[in-house]
A and B are shown apart, each in its own frame.
Chain A
Amino acid sequence: QKEVEQNSGPLSVPEGAIASLNCTYSDRGSQSFFWYRQYSGKSPELIMFIYSNGDKEDGRFTAQLNKASQYVSLLIRDSQPSDSATYLCAVKNTGFQKLVFGTGTRLLVSP
């Protein structure tokens, strides 16, 4: 079992729809969770992070964390073609400063 799992996609949504990206993790002691966006041929860039159960909103993005289910998600409202990218989930495990990344979900937003 991988430490951080994501569906590779592609996830296809029409412009204006809500895109829902999901991530599960195996270490129950994981403390903080990050979502990165990576455009093709570019480096990852941080979108947002969350460390408490519940929802955290930032503009069109909402991160949701459920530690009991070991599940973190990213919702993108009013999806735009410019949101088309690979979204990487990263998890900071107990006692370490390093992040463990999932392999990413490719999102395609069609005009």
Chain B
Amino acid sequence: DARVTQTPRHKVTEMGQEVTMRCQPILGHNTVFWYRQTMMQGLELLAYFRNRAPLDDSGMPKDRFSAEMPDATLATLKIQPSEPRDSAVYFCASGLPLLLDKSAGRTYEQYFGPGTRLTVT
């Protein structure tokens, strides 16, 4: 069955190291979202792409985070250098547009991947 895949599922690294997380969206979904979830902040949007183009990355610390979508089957989120405060679960979601009326605006049904649990020591 179609699902979003993420690798790695778990990552433990030392402060200062580079971390790369990968996401394979569901085939045919043209929108990809990156989220970070912590106990304190909950689920926060970091960036999202439509048709591989970045539309909003305002939630992402630009000095250390970068997100790309080199092709339709792969999205990446990179942290360099990593810090202990980056420890969180990172989710990727891919989306299909919902066919709603104009009052709802452009809205996506988002399917979440299993997440990457990152621990930075």
Contacts and interface: CB of A to CB of B under 8 A. Distances in A.
A99 B110 contact: yes
27 contacts: A31-B103, A31-B104, A31-B105, A32-B98, A32-B105, A32-B107, A43-B91, A43-B112, A43-B113, A44-B43, A44-B91, A44-B112, A46-B111, A51-B100, A51-B101, A51-B104, A92-B105, A95-B105, A97-B105, A97-B106, A98-B33, A98-B48, A99-B45, A100-B45, A101-B42, A101-B44, A102-B42
Interface of B: 31, 33, 41-45, 48, 50, 55-56, 91, 98, 100-101, 103-115
Contacts, number: 62
Nearest to A101: B43
Nearest to B92: A43
A5 B40 CA distance: 14
Contact of B110 (A46, A51, A52, A95): A46
Interface of A: 31-32, 42-46, 49, 51-52, 88, 92, 94-104
B56 to A, nearest CB: 6
B56 A98 contact: yes
Contacts of A103: 41-42
A43 B115 contact: yes
A43 B6 CA distance: 11
Chain A binding site: helix, strand, loop or mixed by DSSP?
loop
Given A44-B112, A46-B110, A99-B110, A52 B103 contact: yes
Contacts of B43: 44, 88, 101
Given A43-B91, A97-B31, A98-B45, A51 B107 contact: yes
B55 to A, nearest CB: 7
Given A43-B112, A45-B112, A92 B107 contact: yes
Interface centre among A46, A99, A101 (most CB of B within 10 A): A99
Contacts of A95: 105
Contacts of B56: 96-98
Contacts of A43: 91, 112-115
A97 B98 contact: no
Contacts of A42: 114
